[in-house]
Amino acid sequence: MEDILASGKARAIGISNAGIPILEHLSKTWKVVPAVNQIENHPYNPEHELKKYCDEKGILIQAYSPLGSTGKSGAMAHAVSRCSRQARRCPRTPF
C-alpha cells in the first residue's frame, strides 16, 4: 500500500478493524502512518482505549454501525424514538 501511495495512485492509506496490538505490530514497519482506522464504534462499544491510541498516533477513527450492531440497534432505536418524542414536546430553538 505504501508503494501505491508513493506512486500517486492513492491519496491515503486506511485500515479496518485494527486493534492496539495490530497497530503496534504494524508501527514497527510502516513508513506511512495510516490515515484512518475503520472500526465498529457506538455507545455499546465505545473503544475508548483504541480511540486514545489512534489519537496519539494521528490516526482518525471512522465508525461503522454508529447506532449499534446487530442485537443492539433495537435498544438504540428505542432511545432515539424516546428523544424524538421529548423533542416534539419542547418549543423550537430560535435557529
Predicted pLDDT at 50? 97
Segment 12-42, tens digit of pLDDT: 999 999 999 999 999 999 999 999 999 998 8
- The HSE-up count of residue 85 (CA atoms within 13 Å, CB side) is 5
- The HSE-up count of residue 30 (CA atoms within 13 Å, CB side) is 16
Phi, psi angle pair for 30, to nearest 5°: -70, 145
